[in-house]
Amino acid sequence: MSFQIAVYNYQVFLIFRGPDVRDSFLECFHDPLKGAGIVAFLDRKEIEYGERIDDKIVEAIKCSYICVLVFSKDFASSPTCLMEVALMVEFDKTILPIFYDVEPFIVSLPGDK
């Protein structure tokens, strides 16, 4: 009988659309997590200059316990954000949404009305 034990490098993977929340909400959210001893993946703190971003993101999603999506007005306009959401679904991750400065029904794909 064989089984796999999940190994998590991160307790939380944070996904967000950079310009919308990076210098406002995100710091107020990430810093208290860190202060509480929760290890959260935050791209600008985890990816070094010159490092392959795609590989690091895929590995971080795989090795995260939960994923927190910070939906904002321009979230769905980012192909990278949409790819990350697809990976979370593919890897069967628990996804916790946060709607930042937007109502849930506002977040839609470009061109949707």
Q: Which residues of 7-28 are buried (b: 16+ CB within 10 A; e: fewer)?
A: eeebebbbbbbeebbeeebbee
The one catalytic residue among 27, 84, 90, 103: 84
Count H helices, E strands: the chain? 5, 4
Q: Which of 25, 29, 20, 48 is nearest to 12 (CA)?
A: 29
Pairing mode, if any, of strands 10-16 and 64-71?
parallel
Give SS3 for 36.
coil
- Does residue 84 have an active-site annotation? yes
Q: Which residues are identified as catalytic?
A: 84
